[in-house]
Amino acid sequence: MIEKSELYKVLNENVLDFWQSRMVDEEWGGFYGRIDGHDQLHPKADKAIILNTRILWTFSAAYQVTQDIEHKKVADRAYQYIVDHFIDSEFGGVYWTLDHTGHVSNDKKQVYAQAFAIYAFSEYHKIAPKGQALEHAVTLFNLLETHSLDKQDNGYFEAFDRQWGVLSDVRLSDKDMNATKTMNTHLHVLEAYTNLLMVWEHEPLKKALQNLMELMSTKFISDTNHFHLFFNDQWELQSHEVSFGHDIEGSWLLCEAAEVHQDARLISSTRALALKMTDASLEGMDDDGGLMNEAGPEGLTDTDKHWWPQAEALVGLINAWQISGEERYLTEAEKTWSFIKSRLIDPKGEWHWRVTRTGQVVLDEDKAGPWKCPYHNGRALLELYRRLP
């Protein structure tokens, strides 16, 4: 069995300590934008909204478990920096990136980013209920329902310019397809709305969350129980790639959404779907317990083992074990935890971005940066600590 004391130690000593000791920017405020895979700080790197909201979520969630006042101080710092620098006071929403001094460097309104701000603000509200975090989250919810929701064909559009106008390039990153409706953004809007519903009982929010669950289980789930990744406005599929990490992450996030929604029918259907999605994701599970990255119609296309699919596999497998009672899921989770400890956790702090299938650490990827944050691994450790006996 995975030991809770070990999870707690890794959470505190390997993950949280790294971020609070290495990433606080005392000169310009907030947090540094990047530490590379060789542990070198880049103090003038841009500061990304994804990094900052994920720090806010992680330390807000961690404080509820650790009750360590230092963790709350990090959450307080992240919250204030986001409010002071990332929120667009004129047109609403949060900017994509700032330069290292805190001035806007990219003002686009990526819906994925608005979702993470909702996720983070609603979590921070749990530890600072007398502040304005909930108000910020609600404002962002209303903006998404006004600007991003497709009133004609359903779903959420991907991105906008600063004034919520049309963009020609809506990609989340250079690795993504320029598609107007994506699984990744919908999954994280669902995640955000789930967390917001925990602290804000609001019927339109509840209806929006139900709509997202139905979209995920109809539009985005393939006949083989993998996620479809990219669509155009009219829901025409644009890609046949499979992301194993998103499959297993989605499996447990859908269950969480249904449980927070408190609809017995949805709870039952999402649990059944979660087991199918978990089994589908295990097509990418290697013999060593590491989850490979991607596949296409002809088979595996990326056999590297990135940090975040391993973290999501831990939660998805434990969730499947709790739902089904089948020990095979627990056994797989234990193998993945062993893989993480032996291959991904860096004794100097944090987890490496990825290792090759042969186990070689790839050091040309960030240790901390716009996409490498304490959220996936921190959340997995917190989830398992909460779920395991």
**For residue range 331-388, what is the model confidence (pLDDT) as tens digits?**
999 999 999 999 999 999 999 999 999 999 999 999 999 999 999 999 999 999 999 9
Query: Which pair of tokens denotes residue 386?
Result: 């909460």
Q: Given 3.30.413.10, 3.40.50.300, 2.70.150.10, 1.50.10.10, which CATH number is that of 4-387?
A: 1.50.10.10
The amino acid sitting at 212 is L
What pLDDT was estimated at residue 53?
99
DSSP string covering 151-169, please? TTT-SB--EE-TTS---S-
The helix (run of H) or strand (run of E) holding residue 203 is helix 203-218
Q: Please determine, for residue 210, whether its predicted confidence score (pLDDT) is greater than 90.
A: yes
Please, are residues 311 and 380 in contact by the beta-carbon 8 Å criterion? yes
pLDDT for the residue 318: 98
Cβ neighbours for 138, distance < 8 A, ≥ 6 positions apart: 196, 200, 202
Q: Tens of pLDDT along 294-312? A: 999 999 999 999 999 999 9
| pLDDT on residue 357 | 98
pLDDT digits (tens, 9 = 90+) for 247-282: 999 999 999 999 999 999 999 999 999 999 999 999
Q: What is the pLDDT of residue 366?
A: 98
pLDDT given at position 135:
98
Average pLDDT, whole number, for the chain?
98
Cα separation, 328 vs 284, whole angstroms = 16
Neighbouring residues of 385: CB distance < 8 A, sequence distance ≥ 6 = 4, 7, 8, 11, 65
With CA atoms as reference, report the closest residue to 80 among 134, 133, 22.
133
Using the structure block, give the residue that is written with the tokens 């998103």: 246
- pLDDT at residue 224 above 90? yes
| Cβ atoms of 211 and 154 closer than 8 Å | yes
**Could you count the other beta carbons within 10 Å of the beta carbon of residue 265?**
8
Q: Measured at the alpha carbon of residue 249, what is the angle toward residues 382 and 283, in degrees to the nearest 5?
A: 125
pLDDT at 287: 98
With bands split at pLDDT 50, 70 and 90, how would you rate the model's confidence at 1? Answer: confident
- Does the pLDDT at position 61 exceed 90? yes
Global pTM value: 0.98
**What percent of the chain clears pLDDT 90, i.e. is strictly above it?**
99
Task: Please report which confidence band the pLDDT of residue 112 belongs to, taking 50, 70 and 90 as the band edges.
Answer: very high
Task: Write down the pLDDT at residue 167.
Answer: 95
Give residue-wise pLDDT tens across range 66-87. Answer: 999 999 999 999 999 999 999 9
- pLDDT for 175 equals 86
Q: Rounded distance, CA 6 to CA 341, Å?
A: 10
Q: Would residue 164 be called left, alpha or beta, if left means φ above 0 and alpha means ψ between -120 and 50 degrees?
A: left
Q: What is the pLDDT of residue 164?
A: 98
Specify the amino acid at residue 114. Answer: Q
pLDDT (tens digit, 9 = 90+) per residue, 26-47? Answer: 999 999 999 999 999 999 999 9
